[in-house]
Amino acid sequence: MCGIVGYIGKRQASPILLDGLRRLEYRGYDSAGLALSNGRGIEVLRRAGRIENLRKLVAETNPRGEAGISHTRWATHGAPTDSNAHPHRDQSGRLAVVHNGVIENYQQLRDWLKTEDHKFSSETDTEVLAHLIGYHYDQSEEQDPVQRLVGAVQAALPRVKGTYGIAVMHEDAPSVIVGARLGSPLVVGLGADEHFLASDVSAIVAHTKDVVYLNDYDVVTITRDGFDVKHLEGGEARVTVSRVDFTEDDAEKGDFPHYMLKEIHEQPNSIRNAMRGRLSRDEATAILGGLQMTPQELRQVDRIILSACGTACHAGMVGEYLIESLARIPTEVEIASEFRYRNVPTTKDTLQFVISQSGETIDTLAALREAKRKGIKCLGIVNNVASTIARETDGGIYIHAGPEIGVAATKSFTSQVAVMTLLSLLLGRIHHLSSTDGLELIDELEAIPDKITDILKQAAHIKQIAEKYAHVDGMLFMGRLINYPVALEGALKMKEISYIYASGHPSAELKHGVIALVKPELPSVFIAPHDAVFEKNISNIEEVKARKGPVIAVATEGHPHIEKVADDVIYIPRCPSALSPLLTVIPLQLLSYYIAVARGCDVDKPRNLAKSVTVE
């Protein structure tokens, strides 16, 4: 998704803007630009392609200015070209805008503006927005340029249908930057004699940890000395200063070649963080105060819906198995983009969770809002603190995975699964789960991080297997029961970073059509831990081998029998079946990572993808 960084203060703006955009690269983009108030007017520099192209242009032109706005664009309307890159100017050329989101009625607005003799130089919806704000600025009779600019933004935005996170500058008001948001995140950074605006706090955490997360319909004015937030329709807005709980190093890749590999290796600690302070041996249960529900209220729950997209949805599918097996509460996973348009039957005691790493995914946010329209209590399982989803739910559980920069979700998946295991333990213990069962689960959970460390020590072995299969055009992922969602997740990882066509299936589905695909050039990955269906998986592997299909197996150590049937085996430590996804997914993350590297893919910024899908 697009990224926004704004700065106004005591320092030259361009280095801060460029560094901020670099920290947002992981979100996916295809062009970049900035605008600076240079004392003589507003200077705009834009380039298609990587931020490095913009950096070179800045170095050549050496623009000056202590106030500026910048943007990385993920093309929605118009190809990734210099002229479509943001910032965009208005008709007068004296106002500049950067914008995240989609203006759905941009064509109608463009047609109307043309009747007012406006001329456009790009194909973008954002240029229309710039002209609309500029139109209201020029029509205004307000003498004070700052109030005139704020008033123009407040007049233009109600005419917009769609989503926006914007930053606006005008030559008449060089001492301010105006921002506004609806459906696309925007955060204000508070500094000493300087203030920031960004679409993601990781862009500015190097400069300040004190931030204000804006709400929908907020309009903010930032200056060197301060900021002021108003509601779009006037009046003061609710402002809360938050303290960022991670450092700029957390959002850097350190000695790792890619964020994704760093985040895969962070999982022993990220899972410890997900469980920290949430396990009670005395009560043999989990403590999840963020649910803001009493045991009595939780005991009333007679149905659970889990809504999410992508990897978060796969985590929800694992959660479904866990909640139903440990707490015996009927649970179903609804893909968020489906849920928001379906009419799912619910009961008065239905409880819904939305699961989202970013907390900004538009379909998951829409599912949340639809659930609330229907009076369903809706909680979040979210990583990004103070994200839109986190703030709109009735409570929830933060997964505390730290910033996940790689587009491919890894540690957020295992932390989401860990949190849902805690939720299942809590729900089980308020129904029928015994304290001995609860304590046993706690012991096994606390052993998981070290077991993941043991798997990560096999990275070289997994890399060898990856290089053996890096040339293939397709891959099947097979798993049963609680490891079927892991097969889906392994297939998604492979698709999104190595661009190999991959699909996940319940192992028994092989004979219902999938096996027609099996051939020597098509490897099958079987997730076959030593559980109740291990022998069934072995039979499926033999079916594939009988048709000369190569097989990679993820299996439990101490059961070498599988080496007789599989071509390659990656062993995981023993663990209860209920916790096996926390281990079986690790080899699949590494397998897809090393295959993508072997294929020369851009692992952290895969083509066509964005880290947070905030547009439909």
Per-residue x/- mask for ligand AGP, residues 364 to 383, rule CB under 6 A?
x-------------------
Question: Measured from the CB of residue 336, what is the shortest distance to ligand AGP in angstroms?
Answer: 8
- Residue closer to ligand AGP, measured from CB, 5 or 613: 613
Site for ligand AGP in 66-125 (CB under 6 A): none
- Residue closer to ligand AGP, measured from CB, 97 or 408: 408
Nearest to 253 by CA among 539, 521, 75, 22: 22
Interacting residues of 289 by C-beta distance below 8 A, sequence separation 6+: none
Decide if residue 202 touches ligand AGP (CB under 6 A): no
**What are the structure tokens assigned to 136, written together?**
């209201």
119 is annotated as an active-site residue: no
Per-residue x/- mask for ligand AGP, residues 270 to 309, rule CB under 6 A?
---------------------------------------x
Per-residue x/- mask for ligand AGP, residues 494 to 513, rule CB under 6 A?
--x-----------------
> Which H/E stretch holds residue 169?
strand 164-170
> What are the angstrom distances between the C-alpha of 593 and each of 414, 467, 490?
16, 11, 11
β pairing state of 194-198 and 187-190: antiparallel
Per-residue x/- mask for ligand AGP, residues 404 to 443, rule CB under 6 A?
---xxx----------------------------------
**Nearest-angstrom CA–CA distance, 289 and 280:** 12
> Which H/E stretch holds residue 216?
none
- Residue closer to ligand AGP, measured from CB, 408 or 551: 408
Site for ligand AGP in 5-34 (CB under 6 A): none
- Residue closer to ligand AGP, measured from CB, 177 or 367: 367
Given 2, 309, 313, 601, which residue is catalytic? 2
**Nearest-angstrom CA–CA distance, 458 and 230:** 54
Nearest to 284 by CA among 421, 432, 435, 445: 435
Question: Measured from the CB of residue 304, what is the shortest distance to ligand AGP in angstroms?
Answer: 19
611 is annotated as an active-site residue: yes
Interacting residues of 575 by C-beta distance below 8 A, sequence separation 6+: 444, 447, 448, 451, 529, 582, 583
**Which stretch in 206-214, 286-294, 401-409, 475-483 sits in contact with ligand AGP by CB under 6 A?**
401-409
**Nearest-angstrom CA–CA distance, 137 and 341:** 39
Decide if residue 358 touches ligand AGP (CB under 6 A): yes
- Residue number of the CB atom closest to ligand AGP: 310
**Which stretch in 105-113, 159-167, 270-278, 355-363 sits in contact with ligand AGP by CB under 6 A?**
355-363
**Nearest-angstrom CA–CA distance, 477 and 486:** 9
**What are the structure tokens assigned to 9, written together?**
């203060």
Name the residue with tokens 């659930």.
371
> Which H/E stretch holds residue 196?
strand 194-198
- Residue closer to ligand AGP, measured from CB, 152 or 203: 203
Decide if residue 310 touches ligand AGP (CB under 6 A): yes
Question: Measured from the CB of residue 383, what is the shortest distance to ligand AGP in angstroms?
Answer: 8
Question: Measured from the CB of residue 271, what is the shortest distance to ligand AGP in angstroms?
Answer: 17
In this structure, what DSSP letter does residue 570 have?
A: E
With contact defined as beta carbons under 8 Å apart, do 475 and 591 qualify? no
- Residue closer to ligand AGP, measured from CB, 26 or 484: 26
With contact defined as beta carbons under 8 Å apart, do 546 and 527 qualify? no
Tell me the residue length of the chain. Answer: 616
Question: Measured from the CB of residue 586, what is the shortest distance to ligand AGP in angstroms?
Answer: 15
Query: Per DSSP, what are the bridge partners of residue 9?
Result: 194
Residues that bind ligand AGP (CB under 6 A): 309-312, 356-358, 361, 364, 407-409, 496, 612-613
Active site residues: 2, 611
